[in-house]
């Protein structure tokens, strides 16, 4: 049965009465979502059930510890909901152990490092300017300040150089080899990463924050059964609330759990864990598999539509939900494109491309993703329309009046779709 919701089911009656100003701002955000095209690859829209779960009374309870071993009394139902979330996520990813308490992706990665490394230990990961993530050893992040990160790179075409990964692993003998990204459009060779880690005696870690939903939806290979530890956020392609999960082999379970609490976190956010459980329940359905497949179909259609209009896509396409657009052939920067697109009601973030000559706050590229537009029920044919909007904005980047005209077209197009649509 197809289910569609235009605005979320929460009526906000108490909010409207008690705090009209917060109510007003929340209504404006609903309107922005309804009238815009969300192409930020790390963003999505949760279902009404997930949204309602976040407003439950589970938010009231302190629950330090794990199910069955809490520091405070009165947690019998907290134990039940958290255990349900754990059971479901383990089933999705075939995990031996899971901790569903991490508050977001960076804290999840921090907990893994805190639990399995000593300060100054070496980690091999993908460079930020090559598609990696801040928490994978950026010098401005805790990870780069506290641990010795060595970074592997992509080739000139934007593909990860696995031979370099192997060479660096043999040279530096890292304690952890980390596979994962925030801006990379191709499949990762999980087996090769595992083999390299085994060869040098390293822990094999994956950060699947961006592609977890595509793995859950059985569209991409699952690294969890073969890796030692895997982290993911729950709010990107998994289409859940803002939060994270750590999955690991049973041999690392105690270290991971103790790293989360009391290592780096206090009381878990059990209302969010309840919402995670709801999302995981959705992830286990055949409908979610169709959704994950459509995300990739839409991404490939959007990439093709842009390339047909003269845009350069790093690696020439995508295997997942996202793509990097090199704007240098168009003679504009990522920041200029981001700002102009936002004026037209299209949301896409500036992003470094491999070997980018621009600074991180300017960039030569933008990152695009299709999870949110797919949630709204858009199909590959709609990606052609979106590619056309993007092309026209770029062509008229200094023409404010033309961009206003495009904004009205975008508003009409986007408003014709519900906020959440799922078969």
Q: What is the pLDDT of residues 286-315, one digit of tens each?
A: 999 999 999 999 999 999 999 999 999 999
- Just list the catalytic residues: 62, 64, 207, 233, 236, 242
Q: Are 213 and 334 part of one and the same domain?
A: no
pLDDT tens digits, one per residue of 357-368: 999 999 999 999
Instruction: Note the pLDDT tens digit of each residue in 205-255.
Output: 999 999 999 999 999 999 999 999 999 999 999 999 999 999 999 999 999
Alpha carbon distances (Å) from 305 to 302, 329, 342, 412: 5, 16, 20, 21
In a domain, 216, yes or no: yes
> 405 and 299 in one domain?
yes
Q: What is the pLDDT of residue 61?
A: 97
Residue where one domain finishes, among candidates 219, 249, 283: 283
Residue 45 domain-assigned?
no
Strand partners of residue 198: none
Q: Does residue 10 fall inside a structural domain?
A: no
Domain boundary at 251, 283, 315, which? 283
Q: How many CB atoms lie within 10 A of CB 362?
A: 14
pLDDT of residue 275 exceeding 60, the answer is yes
For residues 228 and 207, give the distance between their C-alpha atoms in angstroms, rounded to a whole number: 12
Q: How many domains does the chain have?
A: 2
Are 264 and 300 part of one and the same domain? Answer: no
- Single residue among 260, 283, 306 that ends a domain in this structure: 283
pTM for the model stands at 0.96
Q: 313 and 391 share a domain?
A: yes
Rounded to an integer, the average pLDDT of 152-158 is 93
Q: Do 329 and 214 share a domain, yes or no? A: no
pLDDT at 3: 74
Q: Which helix (H) or strand (E) holds 350?
A: strand 349-351
- Residue 2 banded pLDDT, cuts 50, 70, 90: low
Which pLDDT value is given to residue 6? Answer: 79
Contact 236, 97 (CB under 8 A): no
Q: What is the pLDDT of residue 95?
A: 98
41 located within any domain: no
pLDDT of residue 267: 96
Residue 168 placed within a domain: yes
Please report, rounded to a whole number, the percentage of residues in the chain having pLDDT higher than 70: 99
Domain region containing 97: 57-283
Task: In whole angstroms, give the CA distance from residue 63 to residue 73.
Answer: 8
Is residue 7 in a domain? no
- Rounded CA Rg of the chain: 22
User: Which CATH number characterizes residue 412's domain?
Assistant: 3.90.1150.10
Query: Do 278 and 309 sit in the same domain of this protein?
Result: no
Q: What is the pLDDT of residue 397?
A: 97
345 vs 39: CA distance, rounded Å: 10
Residue written as token pair 């199909």: 379
Same domain, residue pair 235 and 334 = no
Same domain, 219 and 311: no
pLDDT (0 to 100) of residue 7: 67
Residues 36-58 have a mean pLDDT of 96
112 within some domain: yes
Q: Is the pLDDT confidence value at 423 over 80?
A: no
Domain check: are 192 and 299 in the same one? no
CA distance 212 to 185: 14
Residues 234 and 139 in one domain: yes
Same structural domain for residues 248 and 368?
A: no
Average pLDDT over residues 267-290: 98
Q: Is 301 a domain residue?
A: yes
Return mean pLDDT, the chain. Answer: 96
Place of tokens 């230990």: 121
Nearest-angstrom CA–CA distance, 166 and 282: 38
Domain match, 133 and 278 both: yes
Contacts of 53 (CB under 8 A, 6+ apart): 241, 271, 274, 275, 277, 278
Specify the CATH number for the domain of residue 95: 3.40.640.10
Which whole-number Å values give the CA distances from 209 to 342, 358, 412, in the listed order? 25, 26, 32
Q: What is the pLDDT of residues 71-125, one digit of tens each?
A: 999 999 999 999 999 999 999 999 999 999 999 999 999 999 999 999 999 999 9
């Amino acid at each position: 049965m197809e289910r569609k919701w235009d605005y979320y089911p929460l009526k906000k009656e108490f909010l409207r009465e008690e705090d009209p100003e917060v109510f007003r701002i929340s209504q404006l955000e609903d309107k922005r979502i309804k009238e815009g095209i969300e192409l930020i690859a790390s963003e999505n829209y949760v279902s009404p059930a997930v949204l309602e779960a976040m407003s439950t009374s589970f938010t009231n309870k302190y629950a330090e510890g794990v199910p069955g071993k809490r520091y405070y009394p009165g947690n019998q139902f907290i134990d039940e909901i958290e255990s349900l979330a754990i059971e479901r996520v383990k089933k999705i990813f075939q995990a031996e152990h899971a901790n569903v308490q991490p508050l977001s992706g960076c804290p999840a990665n921090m907990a893994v490092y805190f639990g399995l490394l000593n300060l100054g230990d070496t980690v091999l990961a993908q460079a930020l300017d090559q598609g990696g993530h801040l928490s994978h050893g950026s010098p401005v992040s805790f990870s780069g300040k506290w641990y010795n990160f060595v970074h592997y790179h992509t080739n000139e075409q934007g593909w990860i150089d696995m031979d370099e990964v192997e060479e660096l692993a043999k040279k530096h003998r890292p304690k952890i080899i980390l596979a994962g990204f925030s801006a990379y459009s191709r499949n990762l060779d999980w087996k090769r990463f595992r083999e390299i880690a085994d060869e040098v005696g390293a822990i094999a870690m994956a950060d699947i924050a961006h592609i977890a939903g595509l793995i859950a939806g059985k569209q991409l290979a699952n690294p969890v059964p073969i890796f030692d530890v895997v982290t993911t956020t729950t709010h990107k392609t998994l289409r859940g609330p803002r939060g994270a999960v750590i999955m690991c082999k049973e041999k690392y379970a105690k270290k991971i759990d103790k790293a989360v609490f009391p290592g780096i976190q206090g009381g878990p956010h059990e209302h969010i864990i309840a919402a995670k459980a709801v999302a995981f329940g959705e992830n286990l359905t055949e409908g979610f598999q169709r959704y994950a497949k459509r995300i990739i179909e839409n991404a490939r259609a959007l990439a093709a539509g842009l390339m047909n209009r003269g845009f350069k896509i790093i690696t020439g396409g995508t295997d997942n939900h996202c793509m990097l657009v090199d704007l240098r052939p168009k003679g504009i920067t990522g920041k200029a494109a981001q700002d102009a697109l936002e004026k037209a009601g299209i949301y896409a973030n500036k992003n470094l491309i491999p070997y980018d000559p621009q600074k991180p706050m300017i960039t030569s590229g933008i990152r695009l993703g299709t999870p949110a537009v797919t949630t709204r029920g858009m199909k590959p044919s709609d990606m052609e329309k979106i590619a056309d909007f993007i092309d026209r904005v770029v062509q008229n980047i200094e023409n404010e009046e033309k961009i206003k005209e495009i904004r009205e077209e975008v508003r009409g197009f986007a408003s014709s779709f519900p906020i959440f649509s799922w078969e």
